[in-house]
Amino acid sequence: MDISLIVVQAFNALFYASILFLISSGLSLIYGIMRILNLSHGALYMVGAYVTYTVVILWLGLDWFSMILGYLASILVVGGLGILVERILLKPLYGKSHDLQLLLTFALILILDDVVKMIWGPEYRAFPKLPGFSIPVGDFQVPIYFIFTVLLGFSVAIVLHLFFTRTTVGKMIRAMTYSPEVASALGINTDRLFALSFGLGAALAGLAGGVAVPLYTASPGMGTEVIVLSFAVIVIGGMGSIKGALLGSLIVGFSRVFMVMLFPVMEIALIYIIMALILLVKPTGLFGMEMRERR
């Protein structure tokens, strides 16, 4: 096989993995701290995509500066939305059955999908082209936007890592992930951390949407497929682990892109087969620890 094709596909896979990482790290964070499986995480990603689209295409015009503003807008809007959802909708459900939380986040998908349809209409919203130029690799082109996204993804991974290992708030959050009882015994204000975590997780989903929209286009319901892939990512990597989300994203990204090339029939199926195999060998995922459900 042509080596330049492999290089291009590798960038493709890295791009895809970066976006998956941004989504699933937030999902994993929320699960790790709050033990809530946020089904609406894909819908938050969708809102992020529409916000960046609006800022860049409808308001400012396509250039790098407006892209950055678009990302910031997505982070703020979706992060704020996340905090509102946590404070107003989820808080009354703490201490009740997990199923109710799951249902509520599903209701949010239905609501957000239609709200997006009301505001932006049902049609697909596409970027005319990617921001920036492309680098030729053999007979193919690698858009600079791919490289930018990959760098962004890795920077976020590093920032998250530093946040959780170096800052007080980050350490508190990790303490909660390990043992909520100990954390509250230490006098950590779990209430505020819950809001913060959900907001942060949502903001990451919003950023993912903003980063993805130039390539994948925005449409109502765009979150419903990606959410399931993110589940696969965090199950493979281990729920609640940022490292796991990174490795899981890379596994899913690469296996998907190269399966499309080699054996298209098994494209998505392979991801779930990998997931099943990993769970057979290591039920908590690659970097997962034993986590007790919170009652």
Partner 1 sequence: MRRDAELYSLILLLGVLAVAPLFSTQYTVRLLTVGLLYGLAAVGFNLLYGYTGLLSFGHAMFWSAGAYGLSIGLVRLGLDPLQSIGLAFLLTLVVALATGYLSLRHTEIYFAMLTLAFAQLIYALIIKLRDVTGGDEGIYGIPRPMGLGEYYYLVLAIVASLVLLAWWIVRTPLGLGFQAVRDNSSRAASVGLDVSRVRLVSYVISALYLSVAGMLYAPLNRAITPDIAFWTFSAIIVIMTIIGGVRRVAGAFIGGLIFIFININAMRFTEFWQLILGLILAILVYLAPEGVSGIVEKVVRRVRG
Q: Which residues of 78-102 are buried (b: 16+ CB within 10 A; e: fewer)?
A: bbebbbebbeeebeeeeeeeeeebe
Give the binding range for partner 1 (CB under 8 A) out of 97-105, 123-131, 150-158, 246-254. 97-105
DSSP conformation class of 293: P
DSSP conformation class of 129: S
Residue 99 or 139 with smaller CB distance to partner 1: 99
- Cβ neighbors of 170 (< 8 A, separation 6 or more) are 162, 163, 164
CB atoms within 10 A of CB 121: 10
Residue 11 or 194 with smaller CB distance to partner 1: 194
Q: Residue 248 and residue 270: Cα distance in Å, rounded? A: 13
Binding mask 116-155 for partner 1 (x = CB under 8 A): -xx-------------------------------------
CB of 212 to partner 1, least distance (A): 19
DSSP conformation class of 188: -
Q: Is 265 in the site for partner 1 (CB under 8 A)?
A: yes
CB of 172 to partner 1, least distance (A): 23
Residue 58 or 119 with smaller CB distance to partner 1: 119
Residue type, 153: G
Residue 67 or 236 with smaller CB distance to partner 1: 236
Residue 62 or 89 with smaller CB distance to partner 1: 89
- By three-state DSSP, how is residue 33 classified? helix
Q: How far, CA to CA in Å, does 174 sit from each of 33, 48, 278?
A: 8, 27, 24
Q: Is 245 in the site for partner 1 (CB under 8 A)?
A: no
**How many residues line the site for partner 1 (CB under 8 A)?**
46
Give the binding range for partner 1 (CB under 8 A) out of 164-172, 185-193, 206-214, 260-268. 260-268
Q: Is 158 in the site for partner 1 (CB under 8 A)?
A: no
Q: Residue 27 and residue 32: Cα distance in Å, rounded? A: 9
Binding mask 217-236 for partner 1 (x = CB under 8 A): -------x---x--xx--x-
Q: Which residue has the tokens 């290992």?
A: 165
Residue 143 or 288 with smaller CB distance to partner 1: 288
**What is the helix (H) or strand (E) element at residue 205, kind and residue range?**
helix 190-216
Q: Is 262 in the site for partner 1 (CB under 8 A)?
A: no
